[in-house]
Amino acid sequence: YVVFHNLSSFQIKMQNFYKTDYTVKSTEIDSNYKMRIDYIISLFETVTGTHSSLLGIDGPTLLEKSNAFWIITKFKLKINRFPIMDEELEVETWPTSVKGVRFNRDFLITKGDEKLVMGTSEWCTLDYDTKEIRRTSTVCYPADMPHRTELSGAGDYIRVKETVAEDDYSHTHKSAFVDIDTNKHTNNLAYLRMALNAFSPEEFEALNITEVQISFLSQTYFGDEIKIYKKQTDYGVYIEGKSDDKAIFNCIFKME
């Protein structure tokens, strides 16, 4: 695969994917020695950030050139097998399409010929001053770059509509210092961890999770309280976070 540090800056800008090696750390696992879902997403965001920097569309550059910033609106994982502690992996990411206000990017974790985790995600950009969504044509994204047409295999987004009630209440989380990102709102990983905290270790270990999807619906800030609701469904578990009765995010854990 491509070793980017051996390329010129011009060649780097033409690369429409990024691939690297990765070893699962002991700090990234659960009680079953499996890589936790939040760390899988964190890895995805890390390699996305690296590739964005190589393409000149990272956060600081986007702010400087387009007065805008990135937000992720939803992502989905299909899990064939969870990576385990000390496992040596290959991680790859690439943008798949750009349309209207949406940027789509896929993600893949492999070990040799084995596909462990396949991911897809949807992003958009917000104007730094107005916080309004910007069209893709108004920011410094290389839209003329050839995009890879193959997909990771994560599949289509799960389209369900659930309603939670007070009987589904799990716990309340107050957005704290460690939850806040550079845009001064609650980070998407913080929401995923709120969802994961609705499970006990024993309960989560017993689940045979095959797909995970999370959608980010609204923003919260430091000090805001988010109520977490957990509902058992025929496909698995549905979790929703609300603040002042407004849906902030929802998360689906689909079981085999």
The list of the chain residues with pLDDT below 50 reads: 1-14
Report the largest interatomic distance among the alpha carbons of the chain, rounded to a whole angstrom: 58
* Interstrand relation of 133-134 and 88-99 (parallel, antiparallel or unpaired): unpaired
| pLDDT at site 8 | 42
User: What is the DSSP secondary-structure string of 43-84?
Assistant: HHHHHHHHHHHHHT-SHHHHHHHHSEEEEEEEEEEEESS--B
